[in-house]
Amino acid sequence: MILQDILKNYRRKNNSPRYTIKIDISKAYDTVDWNFVEDLLNALNFPARFFQLVMICIKSTSYSLLMNGRIQGGFQGAKGLRQGDPLSPLIFVMIMDYLTRCFLHAALDSKFRYHPLCKSLKLINLCFADDLILLSKGSKQSIKVLKEVLDGFNNTTGLFINVSKSQIFFGGVDSREKREIIRDIYLAEDCFPLKYLGVPLRPTKWKAEDCGIIIKKIRLRLNTWGSRHLSFAGRVQLIHSVLLGLRNYWMSTFILPQSVSKEVEKLCRGFLWGMNGNRSRIHVASWEKVCLPKPYGGLGFKEGTKWNQAILAKYIWAITEKRDLLWVKWVNNIYLKRVSIWSYDLKVDTSWYWRKLCRLRLKFPISEILMADSLLCPVCGDQPESHHHLFFDCCLSRRLVELVFQWLGFRGWPLDFACWLSWLSLKASGMVRHVSIAILAATCYNTWLNRNRCVFEGYSKSDSLIALDVKTIVTYRLFIVKNSKLSRQDRDFIHRLKCN
């Protein structure tokens, strides 16, 4: 999304010069220099024992050759990280972190100029795994600085840039200067869309062809699977984890056009119920029904439009929560500028994704998110709601406690939080204490559940039913206890609870 904002002005004329470089690091994992990793871990002050373990993992790599079905000897590795080893991505992240610091260090050099919008955050590169994007102002000096850093990086880490797969994108640079820059760094100029993490990005809004990729990918999967040999449950699982997973990944960055979302669902429907030649078989249940959560009789698929909105609402949530994310900082820096997202006025000159996010605010007004309908207790409705009221004062809670205590055979339910603690410490000995804690927890939990039931579903259970729930939870747990290990007194206590 940051990249979207950055690319937004690339087509405009009379822009200040700028460029974006997409770098492909060739054979990223295989060519890492071991000595470099050693120095890096040392410099980051990892504990010696940990450091040794990591180095053993890296250096013990060996490869066996399999030829004509027989193992024909092998050889030891000399550099590189093992692919598929859970350790490797972590080490790689540290290496990229080193690169970022190299860039920042080089940027102190007065010749380097930051990309427009990026100066206050000191943003020079964006990277995820081995996808690397460099940003800078379009001057020859800046690109020279970047190139020096990359060369240095190559010498120290053993990683080098794959020139043929890396591209440069210009904005507002005149053609003579373009030629000179290209000659200096040997990179080819490319035109949009720029593909980052598999998502094509361009200065303008998404085009249908960009979204077409997702449909193409899903079709490809469907063709290879063929629905004939899979059970219904198997197909459901595949839709869940692969097809909708694919869609959700895209949705997490963009609002997909309605048409694409519909098409994806159509493909899933066809796959779920099976196709007969070109025509689909009878659909036993409507898609709306299939999308219901499992307890309500559906299969728990997520309905496209709503799901997309929910995912994007998460971003708004991240902003309101001031999460520690680069993107949140970015948005605060270039759009919000210390204004809260709820009172921010949408400006004309913004990215389309940001406009969509802001429009989404209308769907989830703050009054609905942060305030319940009324401030009174949703259970009894005649006292202001508070923790103390809910757990100690509410008439329903008092009746519930009486019932639970009858069952336990105790007296005197504590009447505030401090008393709770001392009440628990009084029940000093083993089993009785454990059971008391379990009962207290179950009572609180069910009181809370019932309170939520009143808020969201509009009805309350009766005190005797809730007491039954508490008893059931606790008795189930008591069945796990082995009688042979208990004292006689405890055994009697538990026996009484189970029977009442």
Least distance from Zn ion to the Cβ atom of residue 379, Å = 4
The H-assigned helical ranges of 332-393 are 352-363, 366-370, 387-388
Least distance from Zn ion to the Cβ atom of residue 473, Å = 23
Identify whether 193 is preceded by a cis peptide bond (ω within 30 of 0): yes
Single-letter amino acid, residue 427: K
Which of these segments, 84-92, 158-166, 388-396, 485-493, binds Zn ion (CB under 5 A)? 388-396
> Between residues 127 and 380, which has the closer beta carbon with respect to Zn ion?
380
Least distance from Zn ion to the Cβ atom of residue 383, Å = 5
**Candidate list 379, 440, 470, 474; residue touching Zn ion; CB under 5 A:** 379
Least distance from Zn ion to the Cβ atom of residue 374, Å = 12
**Candidate list 21, 377, 404, 474; residue touching Zn ion; CB under 5 A:** 377
> Between residues 88 and 447, which has the closer beta carbon with respect to Zn ion?
447
CA proximity to 163, closest of 191, 133, 188: 188
Least distance from Zn ion to the Cβ atom of residue 471, Å = 23
Q: Are 254 and 353 in contact (CB under 8 A)?
A: yes
> Between residues 394 and 435, which has the closer beta carbon with respect to Zn ion?
394
Least distance from Zn ion to the Cβ atom of residue 403, Å = 17
**Number of C-beta neighbours around residue 337 at 10 A:** 9
111 φ, ψ (degrees, to nearest 5) = -75, -20
CA proximity to 439, closest of 411, 467, 479: 467
CA–CA separation, 86 vs 90, rounded Å? 8
> Between residues 181 and 379, which has the closer beta carbon with respect to Zn ion?
379
The footprint of Zn ion on this chain (CB under 5 A) covers a number of residues equal to 4
> Between residues 279 and 387, which has the closer beta carbon with respect to Zn ion?
387
> Between residues 58 and 379, which has the closer beta carbon with respect to Zn ion?
379
**Candidate list 311, 380, 455, 481; residue touching Zn ion; CB under 5 A:** 380
Q: Which two tokens stand for residue 365?
A: 């007004």
Q: Between the CA of residue 311 and those of 190, 246, 256, 263, 268, what are the distances in Å?
A: 32, 14, 12, 19, 20
What is the CA angle 118-122-125, rounded to 5?
80
CA–CA separation, 93 vs 113, rounded Å? 26
44 alpha-carbon distance from chain centroid: 28
400 forms part of the interface with Zn ion (CB under 5 A) = no
Least distance from Zn ion to the Cβ atom of residue 464, Å = 18
Q: Between the CA of residue 248 and those of 166, 193, 223, 277, 409, what are the distances in Å?
A: 28, 21, 21, 29, 53
Which of these segments, 346-354, 371-379, 444-452, 463-471, binds Zn ion (CB under 5 A)? 371-379
> Between residues 184 and 402, which has the closer beta carbon with respect to Zn ion?
402
> Between residues 95 and 394, which has the closer beta carbon with respect to Zn ion?
394
Which of these segments, 343-351, 360-368, 387-395, 399-407, binds Zn ion (CB under 5 A)? 387-395
Rg (CA), the chain: 31
**Candidate list 394, 435, 470, 474; residue touching Zn ion; CB under 5 A:** 394
Least distance from Zn ion to the Cβ atom of residue 389, Å = 6
Which of these segments, 13-21, 59-67, 285-293, 378-386, binds Zn ion (CB under 5 A)? 378-386
Least distance from Zn ion to the Cβ atom of residue 295, Å = 28
CA–CA separation, 168 vs 14, rounded Å? 20
Which of these segments, 90-98, 350-358, 392-400, 440-448, binds Zn ion (CB under 5 A)? 392-400
User: Can you give the binding site for Zn ion, defined by CB under 5 A?
Assistant: 377, 379-380, 394
